[in-house]
Amino acid sequence: MVKAIELENVDLSLGRGAARVHILKGVSLAVDRGEAVGLVGPSGSGKSTLLMVMAGLERPDAGAVRIEGQELGPLDEDALARFRGRRVGIVFQSFHLLPTMTALENVAVPLELAGQADAFARARAELDQVGLGHRLSHYPAELSGGEQQRVALARALAPDPAILVADEPTGNLDEDTGASIVDLLFRMKTERGATLVLVTHDPGLARRCDRTVALRSGVIDQARSDELTRGRA
C-alpha cells in the first residue's frame, strides 16, 4: 500500500553562520492514507519545520520525502510547486490570507494560477462548504479570526489535496471559535478522505487524531508518542 507520507532519516539545518540550527535529526515517519496524526512537542522542537518538509516547502539536507508515492527530492522547483498546489493543503496559525484580496479571490486566485478552468465557481462552492457563502466580497480585515481561518481552510481544500497539514490552526482563536474550526477541519478531512497532520499544543485536540507523534529537539520520541497515543480517550 502506498503511504500518504513517508519520511526517511530526514535531516535539516536552517540559518546562516552562527545562527545555523540543526532542526531535524534523522526523522523517519510513515502516515497511512486517511490517517489523522497529531504532532506535539515543546516550542522549538521542530514541529513547524517538519510540517514544511512534509508540505514540500522545505527541502531536507539529507533523507527522503515521499508524498502519495512521489519522491519529492528529484523534483525541480516548478515541478515541486505544481505538486504542492495539487496534492497538499496547508493551514497556518496566522491564516496567511492576502489582505488586498477578497475572501473569494483568496480562494479562487491560487486555483486560477494552477490552471483550474472554473476557479471562481469552485472557490464559491468551497466557501459555501465552510459556511462563508455570505462573505465572498469581504476583505480579510473585515472578517473575524474564525472567519479568516474558514477562508484559509477553503483555500487549502479547494484543489482537493490528498494531504492536509495544519500548524496550530486554532492558536490565534478563542476557545469556542477554535472548537468550531476543529470540527470543520475533521469533518472536511473525513468527507474528502484526506490525510491530516495537525500540530497542536492542545491535548484534547491531539486526542481527536488517530495517533500522536511527539517531537523533542528534532527527534521523534517514540516512547512518549506511544504513551500519548495509548492515553487517548
Cβ at position 57, least distance to ligand ADP in Å: 11
Q: Select the binding partner of residue 21 from ligand ADP, Mg ion, none (C-beta < 5 to 8 A, by kind).
A: ligand ADP
Cβ neighbours for 146, distance < 8 A, ≥ 6 positions apart: 173, 177, 178, 180, 181
Count of residues in the chain: 233
140 DSSP 8-state letter: G
22-81 positions binding ligand ADP, by CB under 6 A: 23, 41, 43-49
* Of residues 60 and 159, the one with the C-beta less far from ligand ADP: 60
* Of residues 41 and 85, the one with the C-beta less far from ligand ADP: 41
Interface segment toward ligand ADP; rule CB under 6 A; list 18-26, 64-72, 73-81, 176-184: 18-26
Interface segment toward ligand ADP; rule CB under 6 A; list 12-20, 120-128, 134-142, 146-154: 12-20
Q: How far apart are CA 196 and CA 186, in angstroms?
A: 9
Cβ at position 73, least distance to Mg ion in Å: 24
| CA neighbor of 218 nearest in space, from 36, 29, 19, 16 | 29
Neighbours of 72 (CB within 10 A): 19
Site size for ligand ADP (CB under 6 A): 13
Cβ at position 94, least distance to ligand ADP in Å: 13
Q: How far apart are CA 125 and CA 164, in angstroms?
A: 19
Neighbours of 109 (CB within 10 A): 17
Q: Which residues bind ligand ADP (CB under 6 A)?
A: 14-15, 19, 21, 23, 41, 43-49
